[in-house]
Amino acid sequence: MKTHEIKLFWEWFYCNEVTLRSLRTQDAKIQKVFIYWLDRHLHNYCEGLDSIIMFPEKSDDRLQLVISANGNADYFDQVITLAEHAPPFKHWKIVPFIQPSNDIDAMEAGLDKPYVFKDIILKASELKFMPLEYEDEKKIDMIVYLKDFTVHCKNKNLLQVVFIIMQDLLGEKSLFQNINFVELAQLPENESNEMIHLFELQAYLDSLNKE
């Protein structure tokens, strides 16, 4: 365990957490400098980790510092160790791994916000999936159906955006533990009854684990 690097990371964070709390209102140059040093200290501990600062909707709520392994199980232990060694912060919640964050009720009503990535715009409520047959496997293979797959099929970023949506639905760790392979396809005009809304993926996985 890199005890020295862990200590240095949290010491730097402690000394600069006031500025980090107000980062959204800071000049762009200051934002860039502090994000650089946050990443630098984190990567001195483990190159495979990244961090995300999540600002609350209400000013009196705590900010979140999310430590992510980007879905790479080789670094899961490093995420947990770093989070466990965090000192107490009044204004921060230290969160290991990206957690499920989307509002399923909004998706069921079709009121969820779209994911916008360059020229790709996707809504989780408009995606469906079909699990592929498997035997005695802990992870599932699946096909995710999109309305505009034929439009974006040659876009190299399309699968990445779908994985981001799935990560928001399941959380970083659960996505790795439960999903093996994802294929993308065009949503047919006549949808099969076997297709499931993507926002129901967690419920589907829960039902499998009960069997």
pLDDT digits 0-9 by tens, 51-63: 999 988 787 899 9
Is there a single domain that holds both residue 86 and residue 124? Answer: no
Is there a single domain that holds both residue 47 and residue 111? Answer: no
pTM for the whole structure: 0.76
Out of 42, 68, 96, a domain closes at 96
Domains in the chain, number: 2
Out of 48, 76, 96, a domain closes at 96
Average pLDDT over every residue of 17-36: 92
Which residues, 6 or more positions from 16, have their beta carbon under 8 angstroms from its beta carbon? 34, 37, 38
What is the predicted pLDDT for the residue at 102? 65
Tokens at 153, concatenated: 């099929």
- Could you identify the residue written with the tokens 């499998």? 208
- Percent of the chain exceeding pLDDT 90 equals 63
Is there a single domain that holds both residue 33 and residue 91? Answer: yes
Tens digit of pLDDT for each residue in 98-155? 888 767 888 988 888 888 877 788 999 999 999 986 655 678 999 999 998 988 888 8
> Domain containing 189: what range?
104-210
Backbone angles phi, psi at 186, to 5 degrees: -75, 135
Is there a single domain that holds both residue 148 and residue 79? Answer: no
Out of 30, 62, 96, a domain closes at 96
